[in-house]
Amino acid sequence: MNIVIICLVVSGLFFFFATTVGLLRFPDFYSRMHAAGKGDTLSSLLMLGGLALYEFHEINIATILVGAKILLIVVFIFMASPTATHAITDAGFESGVKPWQKEKTEEQG
Amino acid sequence: MDSFFLSIGVTLCIMMLLALYRAISGPTAIDRIMGVNVIGTKTTILLVLIGTLYHRVDMFVDIALAYALLNFIVTIGASRYFQHHKNLKARGYGYRFRAEEDK
């Protein structure tokens, strides 16, 4: 049981690390947004799933309720994070942020 | 198991500091909103981790759920505010000198 929890939490931490590296290193607003949106959602699922499994180490009504609430956070993040990502990207597109292109970096500044 | 969760929480805090760099010196305003959104998602998970460390998850999971709701509403509201700003300027700490080089 503990090995499954450690695998889930460490893989979630790895995807958070990938999110942070993408947030710092990508050259463009849109590509940074892509890294932030996907990595956040997946690593939230992995880490909160591992923590909910850790909560199920003894089965009674209280731990089942707490685990169900943690899974409710996962469901909410799965609905909210892509919506927030879409809203930010739409705001950037509507206000005229130009995508990064490899050839025309000097013209677009 | 407690020291494992503690080390995971410390690593999450370091990653939040790295994401704070993008939230401070992002070129445009929506980059800053994006950085704040990432920090908020990490904070939700960090709250559940803190509850696991204190063996009081039943209290901290409510705070985490409220923080997730608040983070979503903040992101939606701020991005709707900046939606029709034409020509978002790249300004901030990192871009103060780069703009002079372009001129």
pLDDT digits 0-9 by tens, B29-38? 888 889 999 9
* Tens-digit pLDDT profile for residues A4-22: 999 999 999 999 999 999 9
Window 2-21 of B, Cβ < 8 Å to A: 4-5, 8, 11-12, 15, 18-19, 21
Residues A96, B84: C-beta atoms closer than 8 Å: no
> Which of these ranges, A25-34, A89-98, B50-59, has the smallest mean pLDDT?
A89-98
* B42 to A59, A66, B9, B84, B103: CA distances (angstroms): 28, 20, 10, 29, 39
Q: For residue range A47-89, what is the model confidence (pLDDT) as tens digits? A: 999 999 988 888 888 888 888 899 999 999 999 999 999 998 8
Q: Give a yes or no: residue A105 inside a domain.
A: no
What architecture is the B2-97 domain classified under in CATH? Orthogonal Bundle (1.10)
Residues of chain A numbered 13-32 and touching chain B (CB < 8 Å): 13, 16-17, 19-20, 23-24, 29, 32
**Which residues of chain A neighbour B76 with C-beta distances below 8 Å?**
83-84, 87
Cβ-proximal residues to B53 (8 Å cutoff; 6+ apart), any chain: B2, B5, B6, B9
Any chain A CB within 8 A of the CB of B103?
Answer: no
**Is the pLDDT score of B7 beyond 90?**
yes
A 56-75 near B (Cβ less than 8 A): 62, 65-66, 69-70, 72-73
Q: What's the confidence (pLDDT) of residue B47? A: 93
Choose between A59 and B73: higher pLDDT. B73
Residue A104 lies in a domain: no
Please check whether residue A44 lies inside any domain of the structure.
yes
Containing structural domain, residue A71: 2-94
pLDDT of residue A105: 54
3-state helix/strand/coil string of chain B: CHHHHHHHHHHHHHHHHHHHHHHHHCCCHHHHHHHHHHHHHHHHHHHHHHHHHHCCHHHHHHHHHHHHHHHHHHHHHHHHHCCCCCCCCCCCCCCHHHHHHHC
Residues B88, A95: contact at Cβ < 8 Å? Answer: yes
pLDDT for residue B67 is more than 90: yes
Residue B96 is which amino acid? R
Reported as a pLDDT band with limits 50, 70 and 90, residue B17 is very high
Question: How many distinct structural domains can be found in chain A?
Answer: 1
Would you say how long chain B is, in residues?
Answer: 103
- Residue A29, phi then psi, degrees to nearest 5: -65, -45
> Cβ distance B64 to B48 under 8 Å?
yes
What region, left, alpha or beta, does residue B92 occupy, with left being phi > 0 and alpha being psi -120 to 50 degrees? left
Is the ipTM beyond the 0.90 threshold? Answer: no
